[in-house]
Amino acid sequence: MKVIVLGSGIIGTASAWFLNKAGHEVNVIERQPGAAQETSFANGGQISVSHAEPWANPSAPLKILKWLGKEDAPLLYRFRPEWLQWNWGLHFLRECTPARTARNIRQIVAISEYSRQTLQAVRSDTGLNYDHLTKGILHFYTDQKEFEDSLPAAKLMRDLGCPRDSIGADEVVRIEPALASIRDKIVGGDFTATDESGDVYKFTTGLARRAEEAGVNFRFNTTVTRLITEGTGASAKVTGVEVINPDGRHQILRADAFVMAMGSFSVPLLKPLGVDLMIYPGKGYSATYQVTDSAAAPTVSLTDDGYKLVVSRFGDRLRVAGTCELNGYTRELNTARCEAITRRTRELFPGACDYENPVYWTGLRPLTPSNIPYIGKSKISNLFLNTGHGTLGWTMGCGSGRAIADIVSGRRPEVDFAFTGMPESPSTRLPATHPARA
């Protein structure tokens, strides 16, 4: 079958890789000059099955209220006169009940675990090097109440088969000695030895090159302007996509099946087709520093709970990422947020990096209210969805690509997950009003 994949971030590229392996003729359309130039460019680098708790959880509404208007708040909701933002906010609140949170966690763990195993298999098949480390993820707490509140979540992860062990402060520093300078502030932590880290940009561009060698055609510098359909109701089909090609001309590209993997930008392209996705862009920041004293910089990937930052070591670089601003599609850098990241990193690892020359970046997480992505079928028979991976697109990327290739090929993926538009098993059943039912 001839398949067009829309978007070449981690999700589109992994989809193309597995669709090619399944024997399809694959074209990828991407507006940037290469793969992974937008949200999959400079993220936190964590493959973190252990941190599957979505932002929508019972403690979120109060925290968000407390943070309103604070420029350096970890999660900042800037109210706009925009229906999608308000509607998204209402759906987010609905996902904060204990029952929905528990169900969403189970889903996220299932696809993330499957994805980590798939990533490991791709790594051994391709030999790709992306500055990956398999030293686990260490989450440390500086607030006693936050640490105590984390214990049930860690237990739930263990019940779901994810070995997230709660540990004391001395053990935290034993696992990552670079945290010694703030030992007196740490109250505890949790450690998941099976988690990993790595540079998503290096991985995605490496995989795109391998996919190209295997026969996938990447059309870069090509912007999708609309999807063309024919028929109505059950007989509706996408017949082509209209693009502006690298010469600036409009062109129609045709295929038998289409996979939407444009992250936050999936929403405006699908709306005219009556496919309403509940995805809102969540702007996040990262800072990348050159390591100047290797022993003073961490190698275990970290989550700093107090500041909601993640830290990953990529060879001689240190990546620190986090914070979220719900404020439309802007990617503007806010100086207060950038400086807050450098201040905190310098405090954690004094003398470890060149803090005078940080490289700041922002990206738009494609957030669903539940943090469960849309992977599966849409109401248009030959239009498939692989989008809305929110805070965990790197963690879920390879598994989502493999799963969508199975679905396009008419097979049920080998993971128990609530795939969009597909029959559900009792363990994955979504409430009738869940956004992933679009």
For position 136 contacting ligand FAD by CB under 6 A, the verdict is no
Positions in 270-309 near ligand FAD (CB under 6 A): 284-286
Q: Which stretch binds ligand FAD (CB under 6 A): 9-17, 175-183, 352-360, 377-385?
A: 9-17
Ramachandran area for residue 328 (φ above 0: left; ψ -120 to 50: alpha; else beta): left
Q: List the one residue from 88, 258, 265, 307 that touches ligand FAD (CB under 6 A).
A: 265
Residue 321 binds ligand FAD (CB under 6 A) = yes
Query: Interface residues for ligand FAD in 357-416 (CB under 6 A)?
Result: 363, 365-366, 387, 389-395
Q: Which residues in 186-245 contact ligand FAD (CB under 6 A)? A: 223-224
> Does residue 421 belong to the site contacting ligand FAD (CB under 6 A)?
no
Query: Residues with Cβ < 8 Å from 83, sequence gap 6 or more?
Result: none
105 binds ligand FAD (CB under 6 A): no
310 belongs to the binding site for ligand FAD (CB under 6 A): yes
Q: Is 104 in the site for ligand FAD (CB under 6 A)?
A: no
Kindly determine how many residues on this chain lie close enough to bind ligand FAD according to the rule CB under 6 A: 41
Nearer to ligand FAD, 187 or 395 (CB): 395
In angstroms, the CA 383 to CA 260 distance is 7
Q: Residues 3, 5, 9, 162: which binds ligand FAD (CB under 6 A)?
A: 9
Q: Which of 4, 18, 22, 40 binds ligand FAD (CB under 6 A)?
A: 40
| Comparison of 32 and 381: residue with beta carbon closer to ligand FAD | 32
Q: Retrieve residue 226's tokens.
A: 């609309």
For 408-416, which contacts have Cβ atoms below 8 Å and span 24 or more sequence positions?
Answer: 408/1, 408/3, 408/19, 408/22, 408/24, 408/257, 408/259, 408/384, 409/22, 409/23, 409/24, 414/114, 415/110, 415/111, 415/114, 416/110
Binder among 5, 8, 54, 376 for ligand FAD (CB under 6 A): 8
Bridge-based pairing of strands 25-29 and 217-219 is parallel
Q: Which residue has the tokens 């051994």?
A: 124
Q: What is d(CA 243, CA 227) in angstroms, rounded to the nearest whole number?
A: 9
Evaluate whether 219 touches 209 at the Cβ level (below 8 Å). Answer: no
CA dist., res. 143 & res. 218, Å (int): 48
CB 111 within 8 A of CB 400: yes
- Looking at the Cβ atoms of 187 and 318, the one nearer to ligand FAD is 318
Binding mask 54-93 for ligand FAD (x = CB under 6 A): ----------------------------------------
Interface positions with ligand FAD (CB under 6 A): 7-12, 29-32, 37-40, 43-46, 48, 223-224, 261-263, 265, 284-286, 310, 321, 363, 365-366, 387, 389-395
